Structure 1
Amino acid sequence: MAPQRDPVERSADDSVDLYDVSTWEPRSAVDRFATLLYAGLNYGLRTLVLVATVAITLSLLATPAVLVADEPLLGVFFGLSVVPALVLAAYIWYADITTSEPLKLLVATFLLAILFATFAGIVNEIGRYLLSPLPAVIGTLLFFYLVVGPIEEGVKLLAVRVLAFRSKSFDAVIDGAVYGAVAGLGFAAIENAIYISGTLAELDSGMGLFTAATGIATVRALVGPGHVIYSAIAGYYLGLAKFNPEHAGPLVVKGLLVASLFHATYNATVQVAPGLIAGFHPAIGPEIAFVGYVILYDLVVGFYLYRKISRYRRTYSDVRVTADADDITPERTEFDPSHR
């Protein structure tokens, strides 16, 4: 769309100087100063936010780094805790039937999700404080549905939006699911590191430390795939938004709404459902009930995502077959009746 022009500019010819009338460019010293000041504020603010984000992220990773330095084997637990999420993200990447995404963009999205996770942590703490005066059940539900779900899914989607979304490589709707999954993987990685290190920092070194690490790493390994699934759903709708600009806003909101609801519902139910499941039979212990519920929940929500990806893949294949068939025009020969 051509930029809108003032009536004077539309009517005047090139011989008329329209500076400060209907057009403008930096001419005077004040103009140039204003331009430099704007650039400084614009890029300076971005730089300040980036530096602050990196600083906060490094401070959050200080405890895991110290633990690994003291007990290098603990690094294995940090790595193992993200393996299920990594496998799931790799599957979504593999399911992309279109062109493969550049590795540098995938890595950048992963790192951006780690950085932006700090914003979620800060907002979560503020939200927890503001809702603390409410009754426990109401405050907890509001915290999950109004703070944790929207904020965490929002920052993961932001990690896709600021870079990968703007790239020419983001050339298909399904690419949104791929980058969303990678953002979820990055978020899960730093969240797992913080949770595991926070628990282990309170313990003394020795075999008890590794026993605790095994338990908490197992729990976080189960939680990680959820982050990948939720943000892949939001990312899929971001992909739809890119190719449907007239409905981009509602599509992004829908993606965030669906992902946030799934995320918040998991947080709200995982504290109650395993206990109810364990109560059905004495042989079902709390640990088995927890593992079973998390896997079942991820399978249900994952099926929602799977159906969207499968439909896209199926339609993509059908359209390509049809297009190829339509493009095949037999070459005429001298034996054709209509040949001249």
Structure 2
Amino acid sequence: MLVILAAGFAPGLALLSFFYLKDYYGTEPLSVVSKAFIFGAVLVLPIMFLEYILKAENIIMNHFGTAFLSAGLIEEFFKWFILFYVIYNHVEFDEPYDGIVYGAAVSLGFATLENIFYLIGNGVDQAIGRALLPVSSHALFGVIMGYYFGKGKFTDKNKHKYIFLAFAVPYLLHGTYDFILLTQEYWGYWMLPFMAFLWWYGLKKAKMARVLSDIHASQML
């Protein structure tokens, strides 16, 4: 069990540390980051229940619905909801890059507990594949979501647009990710370029958030 817990936690904590340590202006309190991580983990149980109901009652009966409604819509909406209602107005969310940290924390909290449950059911030999695909993709969905939250909070115009994009962009990416897994017999040939794009896009948004924080810090002087 200790091996499963270590394998389940390791990729999420490693990815969260990567984005956390790039926060140069007033590193976020670990207590608040941990709170975001825990909130994300708690989401696993109600989301698993909702997804089970949708499947058991045959409410969603095709791959498109599973990818874009059962998985993408429900999971990204709940993560968006936590970020908006718990983190967005928090006093510690005081620069654009903070959205990256908190977005990654919520997403990786969810991905970590989901990962542990999966490894308990399917064996620790699945750990590397889980780290490379579901855990890292959740991290990047969270980074992208956090970028738009940071952009929206610290801009004077189009705030509602960025809050909407904070949900819409990760939702579409998440749905596409699941659709590839569910519909492509040789999904690896499609997943490799998709994950390359997702890493490029996520790191680009993190870099853009860093620039926005630099501008924000200079305006505060």
The TM-score range, normalised by the shorter chain, is 0.7 to 0.9
Does the 8 Å contact 1:82/1:189 carry over to 2? yes
Alignment match, 2:130: 220
Cα RMSD (Å): 2.8
Q: Does 1:180 align with 2:91?
A: no
For 1:107-186, what aligned pairs fall within 5 Å after superposition? 107-131=34-58, 134=61, 139-186=62-109
- For each residue in 1:218-265, what CA deviation from the matched residue of structure 2 results, as whole angstroms up to 9, or x when unmatched? 332222111111022112212223234763333222121110111111
Q: Would the alpha carbon gap of residues 218 and 308 (structure 1) be closer, same or farther in structure 2, given more than 3 Å must change? A: closer
Which structure exhibits the higher relative contact order, with contacts defined as CA atoms closer than 8 Å and separated by 6 or more residues?
2
Alignment match, 2:32: 105
Does the 8 Å contact 2:8/2:113 carry over to 1? no
Partner amino acid, structure 1, of 2:52:
E
Q: Would the alpha carbon gap of residues 226 and 92 (structure 1) be closer, same or farther in structure 2, given more than 3 Å must change? A: same
Looking at structure 2, the residues matched to 160 and 126 of structure 1 have their Cα atoms a distance apart, in angstroms, of 25
Looking at structure 2, the residues matched to 271 and 232 of structure 1 have their Cα atoms a distance apart, in angstroms, of 24
Of the three residues 5, 10, 21, the one matched with 1:83 is 10
Q: Would the alpha carbon gap of residues 193 and 315 (structure 1) be closer, same or farther in structure 2, given more than 3 Å must change? A: closer
Alignment match, 1:237: 148
Q: CA deviation at 1:95?
A: 2.3
* Equivalent residues, number: 220
Question: Which ranges in structure 1 are unaligned for 5 or more consecutive residues?
Answer: 1-73, 200-212, 278-289, 328-340
* Paired residue secondary structure (1:176): helix
In the superposition, the TM-score normalised over structure 2's length comes to 0.85
Alignment match, 1:254: 165
Q: Would the alpha carbon gap of residues 115 and 271 (structure 1) be closer, same or farther in structure 2, given more than 3 Å must change? A: same
Q: Does 1:264 align with 2:175?
A: yes
Does the 8 Å contact 1:117/1:156 carry over to 2? no
Does the 8 Å contact 2:137/2:195 carry over to 1? yes
In the superposition, the TM-score normalised over structure 1's length comes to 0.57
Q: Would the alpha carbon gap of residues 249 and 80 (structure 1) be closer, same or farther in structure 2, given more than 3 Å must change? A: same
Percent of aligned positions with the same letter in both sequences? 24
Does the 8 Å contact 1:153/1:259 carry over to 2? yes
Question: Which ranges in structure 2 are unaligned for 5 or more consecutive residues?
Answer: none
Q: Does 1:276 align with 2:186?
A: yes
Looking at structure 1, the residues matched to 212 and 36 of structure 2 have their Cα atoms a distance apart, in angstroms, of 27
Q: Does 1:303 align with 2:200?
A: yes
- For each residue in 1:37-81, what CA deviation from the matched residue of structure 2 results, as whole angstroms up to 9, or x when unmatched? xxxxxxxxxxxxxxxxxxxxxxxxxxxxxxxxxxxxx32223223
Q: Does 1:312 align with 2:214?
A: no
Does the 8 Å contact 2:96/2:213 carry over to 1? no
Highest CA radius of gyration, 1 or 2? Answer: 1
Q: Would the alpha carbon gap of residues 193 and 119 (structure 1) be closer, same or farther in structure 2, given more than 3 Å must change? A: same
Q: CA deviation at 1:100?
A: 0.7
Does the 8 Å contact 1:157/1:183 carry over to 2? no
Does the 8 Å contact 2:140/2:202 carry over to 1? yes
